Structure 1
Amino acid sequence: MIKKSTALVAALLVSGCQMTDEPHIVEINEQTPADYPAAQPYEVVNALTLDALSEQQADLEELPVFDDVWERIRYQLSIPVPQNRPIVTERNYYNKHQRYLDRISKRASPYLYYIVEEVEKRQMPIELALLPIVESAFDPFGYSHRSASGIWQFMPETGERFNLKQNWWYDGRRDIVESTRAALDYLSYLHKTLEGDWLNAIAAYNSGEGRVSRAIQKNRKKHLPTDFWSLDLPKETTAYVPKLLALADLLKRQDEFKVKWDPIVNAQVVDVVDVGSQIDLALAAEMAGMNITELYRLNPGFNRWATDPDGPHTLLLPLDSIEQFSQQLAKTDHKQRIRWQHYTVQKGDSLSVIASRFDTSTQSIQTLNELDSHIIRVGQALLVPLSEGNIDNEQLTAKMRKATAPTKKQTVHYRVKKGDTLWDISNAHDVTIQQLANWNKLSANAILKLNQKLVIHKTLQDNQPSRLAQSARSITYKVRKGDSLARIASKFKVSVEDIVKWNKIDSQKYLQPGQKLKLNIDVKRT
């Protein structure tokens, strides 16, 4: 059954282009103080009368028809852009990096149309549709060292505050539709809280309304202006708003500055499909006639090989794939939407042990087997979900796999060597120049001194090798006469269960001489 949303996204698929160290990526870096009230639902914050809605609809109908979404945005730009030094500096930077703007267009192409539609519906400044450029360069798998994620770079706590579900299966901060709803809810709330000043609201999106409110109160006590340009805010925030305005100015005066914004078709080409139950994403891709990478690019909120058993059960699919997908879905029983295998419970097993062994969750096993509790018994037959569509699938880019892996933080203390620059060090440690400069209270073009000490905050994923794991090797072992799983496991200091999992073999069947097995071993232990 299909549930269609309003017009959603502009281009069919994102290109394979990936960026490593994007300039000017900023994340929300201060959570709301405990004494601030929770945000009200959008309908309460932005209640409109029927007359106002009618006027809004009339305004939208008067818009010219555009073929290109960038032109649609350009026509509606309304926030005044002062030609001050911060804005000119940021505009000149973007103006010198046409290739960066080209990459932005490619990344934004599946999402920008939908975002523009939502901004227009709420009668918010169209400039807000450009905010994901500043936040994440429109990379849905972008992940900051402070744990901000998605195109709108929500921190976990802020995401929870605005009802973005986050669990083992799914991260709503990366879901395009849900994160856009939450971001516009947050900005609407900030606009109301900060007395209708959009620049202050945008600044608060970066640094938190508590910090901006305190800066406003401080100026009031001194009888000073309380506009954004007059506030004493963190360096990162004072650069954040000029970046957005610089992009708007560059779009508005693109002919004058001789820059090009690659066209994004101003039409709906994808829609939301309600699947109605959990589904293996690799199977869903097959049903839609897509590859798994394409599906994940349109649905970046999913962390695992399947959708969350408890939902959401919606997928974003190309319009020309929906009919085929729906026909295939109607023929597929709910149980068949998850690929599974038979498993017999062994001594020492629990649902959590089995789930860990097969890279799934206890909840998924319970749902598939219709179990009322976690209690299982030796010899009991279970259906266990297979993870053939795992996020670690080799078809996916490294950045996709990295974004969905659990994270660990690491602080590195670096001593500057002869000839080092911020660019060299940031490139070597997979961080941006701006991040490195901010952490060490330096300017982005600072000249480093020999033996100067720098702090680098790195985010490690569980699928990244640690120093301890760098001795791990993957080998192919040819089975010899007399070999058994137990004998091979003992020889290479691994478990029988691991060998079975790595090679997807039946532990009850005998090995054959000459049979090849994949083994992941620690060379320091063998």
Structure 2
Amino acid sequence: MKKLFSLALLLVWIGTAAPTKAQNRNLPDDVQQSGDILKNLDSLMNLWYVKNTTYNKAKKSENIYGYRADEVPTFSDSVYTARIEKINSPLPYVYNDKVRGFINLYAVRKRQQVEKMLGLADFYFPIYEEVLDKYNMPLEIKYLSVVESALNPRAVSRVGATGLWQFMYTTGIMYRLNVDSYVDDRKDPYESTEAAALFLKDLHSLFGDWFLAIAAYNCGPGNVNKAIRRSGGKRTFWEIYPYLPQETRGYVPAFIAVSYVFQYHREHNLYPQTVNLPKMVDTVLVDKEINFASIAQVLEVDVEMLRDLNPQYKKDVVPARNKNLYLRLPATKAYNFGTFKDSICNVYTRSCAPKQPVEKKIVLKARDSSDSTVIVMVENTNPSYVSKQQEGNNYSKTKVQYTVKAGDNLGLIADWFDVSIYSLRRWNGLKSNKVPVGRRLTVMVPSDKTSHYKKINAMSKLQKARLANPNYEAPEQKVAVKEKPEPKQTTAKTTVENKTAQTQKSSTSGKKFEYYVVQRGDTLWSIAQRFPGVTVEEIKQLNGIRDNRSLQLGQKLKIQKG
């Protein structure tokens, strides 16, 4: 009986395994060897915003060829050749059987993933194109990210290459991508695209051919140089093709196939699916450590959305401790961030604080000899603190009034009264987080803490600030103290130095200056162009800059007015 059962299991296993092997055998060798390409296409489906894609309502209008919904068009080699020749690009696109294998992969076998990638392209490609245009590179290089990661910013290869552009750790560090316990810039769409463009530009300068540069991006310039030597000094991809690593042989054909499918997707009955990412994104500067949960609570945005827009933050924390960091938000929420930034910081600070101990008072009331009723009364030892999780509990509540003052916002008020912004809005019928000065707000507070919360309406700003942070100190007023200079002995050298200083002072006296904050993409040359009559050398000298590449985002530059 056991033998029959084992035989049955073996037959079932063979029956289920055989089709998969047969399916793999049907794929061309180059496609079978491109393990990371296939893996990333499948892992794309696990992303939250991809799972929440919606069917494209405009599909019927885009179906200009009248295909049936389930129709999968295929074409002859001559049609593929003619279409690829029409792609307007400086890249040396060609069609052959290697390319056809990958066209079949994307346009036939992985149609669902391709339609989702077409939707993602609407979000990522404008980022890529802006950077590529800045460096005067072919815009078609953007398709390389599809081959590398299937437009998945969280993609990680079997050897550790990470992000949309699949940077290895060492290469990422070489191109100034920060990787530490909290941040991985390889997953940042903006930073990684900047680094990828510079890396590819360097590779193109080395080999003088874009397809060789793309091959070197995959396997490293050393392997490409080795293939060139083995080929007898040939300098094109197809001439050194047999001497490249197996996986890299399919890399350029896959790139050509993606370029073709994305430009001719309608001809293959493929249409972009709407992805759950905002159409408009704005960037805000964060100067204090905060986490996604606090941002989500105050701004009423989904934590998953924050993760998708900011995949570089590993632990849902923006660790802005010693330097400013960027946070990307839906444009509709970015404005509110500036308004409620202090509230977000307070919520995060409170979430990190140790839990307040509670005092339990237990009263036993006997019903009869065999039963008793236990009433547990919980009082917080800190009368100014009530957990927001306890808001919904059936404690006795009392209404208190608070009049909105200049500089107040719902986030701050919620912190002072230990309630949530959502509750404030619900109690007062507010449709948004905006509240006018002078508006009287109703706040529900525990009855036994009423006297404490009533005092808040008459408190000063400093007193209210200390409710959220007892250690808060008002900014000190710095008073300049003029010290009497010590008498100096006059020497010939001192006299010369004094005359030089007086000359320099007289040369700068009467000149006016203004300040400029460095933005993303700025260079010393582009900044100088903003101010007529100002040169790069003048900016460097005035700000003590030695290296043209040492500009930092947010850096404040002193500019002499003309």
- For the aligned pair, the TM-score class normalised by the smaller chain equals 0.3 to 0.5
Question: Higher relative CO (CA 8 A, sep ≥ 6), structure 1 or 2?
Answer: 1
Of structures 1 and 2, the larger Rg is shown by: 2
Q: Which has the higher helix share?
A: 2
Q: TM-score, normalised by structure 1?
A: 0.48
> How high is the TM-score relative to the length of structure 2?
0.45
